Structure 1
Amino acid sequence: MSSPEHKQKIWKLIEKIKVGMLVTLDDGVPRSRPMHLVQDAYDGTLWFYTRRSAEKSFEAKQDQDVCLTFSDHDDGIYVSMSGTARLNDDPGLIEKYWNPFVAAWFTGGKEDPDITMMEIDIDFGEHWQSRESKTFQLYEFAKANIKKDHKPDIGENEKFGH
Structure 2
Amino acid sequence: MSQQEIKSEIERILDHNKVGTMATVQNGKPHSRYMTFFRDGLTLYTATDKDTHKVDELNQNPFTHILLGYEGEGVGDEFVEFEGRVQQSDSEEIKKKVWNPHLENWFSGPNDPNLLILEIIPEQISLMNKKDLKRRLLEL
CA positional deviation for 1:4:
6.7
Is 1:62 aligned with 2:60? Answer: yes
Equivalence for 2:31: 31
CA distance in 1, matches of 2:54, 2:72: 26
CA positional deviation for 1:34:
0.6
**What number of residue pairs does the alignment pair up?**
135
CA distance in 2, matches of 1:59, 1:45: 20
CA positional deviation for 1:156:
4.9
Is 1:91 aligned with 2:92? Answer: yes
CA distance in 2, matches of 1:8, 1:53: 36
Q: Is the 8 A contact 1:17 1:72 kept in 2?
A: no
Q: Is the 8 A contact 2:21 2:35 kept in 1?
A: yes
CA positional deviation for 1:129:
3.5
CA positional deviation for 1:93:
1.1
> Larger C-alpha radius of gyration, 1 or 2?
1
CA positional deviation for 1:6:
4.3
Indicate how the Cα distance of structure 1 residues 6 and 77 shifts in structure 2: closer, same or farther if over 3 A, else same: closer
CA positional deviation for 1:160:
2.6
Identity of aligned residues (%): 24
Equivalent of residue 48 in structure 1, options 40, 46, 49 = 46
- Structure 1: unaligned runs, 5 residues or longer: 132-153
Please, what TM-score do these two structures have when normalized by structure 2?
Answer: 0.84
CA distance in 2, matches of 1:124, 1:130: 17
CA distance in 2, matches of 1:46, 1:61: 18
- Give the 3-state SS of the residue equivalent to 1:73 in structure 2: coil
Counterpart residue identity of residue 120, structure 1? I
Q: Deviations over 1:3-26 (max 9, x none)?
A: 676443311122212111000001
CA distance in 2, matches of 1:122, 1:18: 16
Equivalence for 2:12: 12
Q: Is the 8 A contact 2:9 2:127 kept in 1?
A: no
